[in-house]
Amino acid sequence: MAVAGTLTRADLAESVHREIGLSRAESANLVEQILENMCAALSRGENVKISGFGSFILRDKGERIGRNPKTGVEVPIAPRRVLTFRASQMMRERIVKSA
């Protein structure tokens, strides 16, 4: 696993390789397919829910007026779609226990 505390695609593939016994190439391909399916669903406007882990939710934000903090000038902020993640209750409990 990564020393800096970041889980990477390679780490996930290595874990699949060790736990399931697929070859490294098959493990990497499996991880890529899962991530690609998640990205495709999100790009179609679908939310992604992984039971016991959490939900990736798309939200549409409307246009609003913002302020440049340096100059104080008001500027319009365009409407946009944002991606949020909401951890499941099970995940939140695991994170709190490990802290």
Render each residue's pLDDT in the chain as its tens digit; 99 residues: 445 689 999 999 999 999 999 999 999 999 999 999 999 999 999 999 999 999 999 999 999 999 999 999 999 999 999 999 999 999 999 988 876
Domain with CATH 4.10.520.10 in the chain: 47-99
pTM of the predicted model, to two decimals?
Answer: 0.77
Distance in angstroms (rounded) separating the CA atoms of residues 39 and 44: 9
CATH number of 47-99, picked from 3.30.70.100, 3.40.50.2300, 4.10.520.10, 1.10.10.10: 4.10.520.10
Q: How far apart are CA 91 and CA 41, in angstroms?
A: 22
Give the residue among 33, 31, 51, 30 at the shortest CA–CA distance from 41.
33
Count how many residues are written for the chain: 99
pLDDT, position 1: 42
CA 83 – CA 55 distance, rounded (Å): 10
For 21, phi then psi, to 5°, come to: 95, 10
Residue 36's alpha-carbon distances to 33, 41, 55, 64, in angstroms, are: 5, 9, 16, 33
